[in-house]
């Protein structure tokens, strides 16, 4: 990383909030202390930044990539991000439920339809403010939508090029996948944020064991029967 890039990084929100006290963080890492940050605050902070960016005077879109093996919570986290962004854009719970049927996309053929729907809405409402135009969509298991081989289709190539060039749409793509290498290069280049999820095997003396037991009870309505488990 060159010095100019480092100087730019120091102006970023991430640096100002988390990395400024680098000596402090290095000491913590040296001592191998477990660091746990409430996910609520992380999600609230990220979604706030995304909404600020996409509703700014300068029209911008946003692409967020969530990676992880099966069972790590990619789809669930995508929906959490979707709901928080919708709330910050002013939608009620009932409105979010209604929109979710249109906005959570699983198949290749659904994506062009959703893009066209958004395009038509904007054309029919020239009076809309940036807050009304900005909108999140979830692309679940996106390798089924943006697969590098599927992407050779002329229609999809043209669609992606169109989507990338229309910043005025202010679309927020929340993309999750197990296979990032299968995403077409044009898609890979668009991401502004990446979240990686994984499962960690823990024992009953781990600081997060109580949280594991709590979540296990929610899923199976009983306590775990052994002294090992995994937490995402």
Q: What is the DSSP string of 118-163?
A: HHHHHHH-TT--HHHH-EEEEETTGGGTSBTTGGGSHHHHHHHHHH
Q: Could you tell me the CATH number of the domain that includes residue 111? A: 3.40.50.300
Co-location of 174 and 205 in the same domain: no
pTM of the predicted structure, to 2 decimals: 0.77
Is residue 31 assigned to a domain? no
Co-location of 162 and 217 in the same domain: no
Tens digit of pLDDT for each residue in 95-139?
999 999 999 999 888 888 899 899 999 999 999 999 999 999 999
Tens digit of pLDDT for each residue in 146-199?
877 665 566 666 777 777 677 889 999 999 998 888 887 778 888 889 999 888
Co-location of 111 and 162 in the same domain: yes
Co-location of 158 and 117 in the same domain: yes
Is residue 18 assigned to a domain? no
Nearest to 228 by CA among 149, 213, 126: 213
Find the domain containing 174 and state its range: 37-197
Co-location of 185 and 81 in the same domain: yes
Co-location of 63 and 132 in the same domain: yes
């Amino acid at each position: 990383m060159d010095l100019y890039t480092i100087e730019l990084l120091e102006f970023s929100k991430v640096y100002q909030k988390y990395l400024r006290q680098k000596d402090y963080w290095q000491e913590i890492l040296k001592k191998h202390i477990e660091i746990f940050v409430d996910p609520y605050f992380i999600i609230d902070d990220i979604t706030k930044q995304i909404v600020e960016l996409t509703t700014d005077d300068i029209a911008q879109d946003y692409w967020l990539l969530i990676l992880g093996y099966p069972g790590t919570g990619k789809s669930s986290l995508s929906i959490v991000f979707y709901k928080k962004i919708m709330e910050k854009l002013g939608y009620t719970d009932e409105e979010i439920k209604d929109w979710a049927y249109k906005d959570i996309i699983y198949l290749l053929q659904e994506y062009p339809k959703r893009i066209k729907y958004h395009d038509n809405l904007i054309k029919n409402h020239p009076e809309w403010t940036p807050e009304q135009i900005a909108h999140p969509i979830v692309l679940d298991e996106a390798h089924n939508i943006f697969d590098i081989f599927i992407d050779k289709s002329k229609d999809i190539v043209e669609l992606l090029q169109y989507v990338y060039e229309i910043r005025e749409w202010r679309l927020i793509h929340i993309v999750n996948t197990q296979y990032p290498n299968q995403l077409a290069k044009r898609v890979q280049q668009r991401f502004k944020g990446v979240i990686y999820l994984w499962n960690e095997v823990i024992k009953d003396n781990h600081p997060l064991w109580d949280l594991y037991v709590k979540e296990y009870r929610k899923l199976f309505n009983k306590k775990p029967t052994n002294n090992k488990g995994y937490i995402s």
